[in-house]
């Protein structure tokens, strides 16, 4: 009797295992990774207004840190790369409706965003910094000093810069902009006291427009990992992207891209 029961139990386990294997196969067939390989095209969604990550050069071509990461990713898959220009405030809905395969647009990994989409491991870590009106040089030394109703603080709508401003500088008047360059120029023009945004943008903007006109408080006051955004329910694609990031960081590809866009300023004249 015991032998019969053991045999039945073993058959049940095999049936469950077979069903699980079949489910895994079906899930793999539905993976974005599989679809990219079938169509021989990788579609990247980005908003080309975030220097030095994605921007338009003088020839009208989208270039930048994220674009070179995307090129390396397409090369690893041996597929064509297609850039899909998308406004940042609508970039998650666009991903969810299959307008493209990946968000690669300087998007910060947050818990709120993670409830909507998945992220592989971060590919770079940045933080919020402050472009300050030069008349406040001796009055404001950190974001804490800006937390006063007499100050107007700006950032870009729908970004972590806006979130950080509202959370950490709630007493200041807040002013939102559709593009980060417009908000930073508002400080230069004396219409805002400070602009809060990611440090890499602050460094680039100051080099291009801010010398002698504004001050960069360049010690980040938030921790912000940037990641690629993908649709949920796709473990195969998530696994591939994590392995891709490990590979380019190990073989020198990532360092070359980082040095070109983050450490160097040679690209300024072409933008």
Reported as a single tens digit per residue, the pLDDT across 84-99 is 999 999 999 999 999 9
How far apart CA 62 and CA 66 sit, in angstroms, is: 10
Would you say residue 164 lies in a domain? yes
Token pair for residue 256?
């070359």
Token pair for residue 55?
């921007």
Q: What is residue 21's predicted lDDT score, i.e. its pLDDT? A: 43
Token pair for residue 142?
């950190």
Would you say residue 59 lies in a domain? yes
Q: What domain count does the chain have?
A: 2
Buried-state track 4-19, b at ≥16 Cβ within 10 A, e below 16 = eeeeeeeeeeeeeeee
Q: For residues 153 and 191, state if they share a domain.
A: yes
Would you say residue 19 lies in a domain? no
pLDDT tens sequence across 173-231: 999 999 999 999 999 999 999 999 999 889 888 988 888 999 999 889 999 899 999 99
Q: What is the DSSP string of 184-215?
A: HHHHHTTS-SEEEEEHHHHHHHIIIIITTTEE
pLDDT tens sequence across 12-44: 565 555 554 445 566 667 899 999 999 999 999
Would you say residue 70 lies in a domain? yes
Would you say residue 11 lies in a domain? no
Q: For residues 190 and 239, state if they share a domain.
A: no
Q: For residues 121 and 234, state if they share a domain.
A: yes
Most confident of 48-52, 130-134, 219-223: 130-134
Would you say residue 6 lies in a domain? no
Q: For residues 132 and 216, state if they share a domain.
A: yes
pLDDT tens sequence across 109-118: 999 999 999 9
Q: For residues 121 and 233, state if they share a domain.
A: yes
Tell me the CATH number at 65: 3.40.190.10
Note down the domain range covering 60: 32-125+226-270
Q: For residues 105 and 151, state if they share a domain.
A: no
Would you say residue 14 lies in a domain? no
Q: For residues 245 and 217, state if they share a domain.
A: no
Q: For residues 97 and 176, state if they share a domain.
A: no
Q: For residues 37 and 114, state if they share a domain.
A: yes
Give pTM, 2 decimals: 0.74
CA 116-66-83 angle, to 5 degrees, is 80
Q: What is residue 257's predicted lDDT score, i.e. its pLDDT? A: 96
Q: For residues 266 and 196, state if they share a domain.
A: no
Query: Beta partners for 82?
Result: 43
């Amino acid at each position: 009797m015991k032998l019969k029961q053991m045999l039945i139990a073993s058959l049940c386990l095999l049936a469950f295992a077979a069903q699980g294997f079949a489910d895994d196969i079906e899930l793999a067939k539905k993976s974005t990774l599989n679809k990219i390989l079938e169509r021989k095209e990788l579609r990247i969604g980005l908003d080309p207004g975030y220097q030095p990550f994605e921007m338009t050069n003088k020839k009208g071509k989208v270039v930048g840190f994220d674009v070179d990461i995307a090129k390396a990713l397409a090369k690893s898959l041996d597929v064509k790369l297609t850039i899909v220009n998308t406004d940042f405030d609508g970039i998650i809905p666009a991903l969810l409706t299959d307008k493209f395969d990946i968000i690669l647009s300087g998007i910060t990994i947050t818990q709120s965003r993670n409830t909507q989409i998945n992220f592989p491991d971060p590919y770079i870590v940045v933080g919020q910094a402050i472009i300050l009106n030069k008349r406040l040089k001796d009055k404001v030394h950190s974001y804490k000093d800006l937390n006063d109703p007499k100050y107007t603080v700006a950032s870009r709508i729908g970004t972590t810069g806006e979130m950080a401003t509202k959370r950490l500088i709630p007493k200041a008047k807040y002013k939102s902009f559709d593009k980060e360059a417009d908000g930073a120029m508002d400080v230069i023009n004396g219409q805002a006291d400070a602009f809060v945004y990611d440090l890499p943008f602050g460094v680039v903007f100051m080099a291009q427009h801010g010398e002698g006109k504004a001050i960069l408080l360049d010690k980040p006051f938030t921790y912000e990992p940037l990641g690629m955004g993908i649709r949920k329910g796709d473990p195969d694609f998530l696994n591939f992207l994590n392995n891709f990031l490990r590979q380019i960081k190990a073989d020198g590809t990532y360092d070359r891209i980082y040095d070109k866009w983050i450490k160097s300023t040679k690209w300024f004249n072409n933008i």
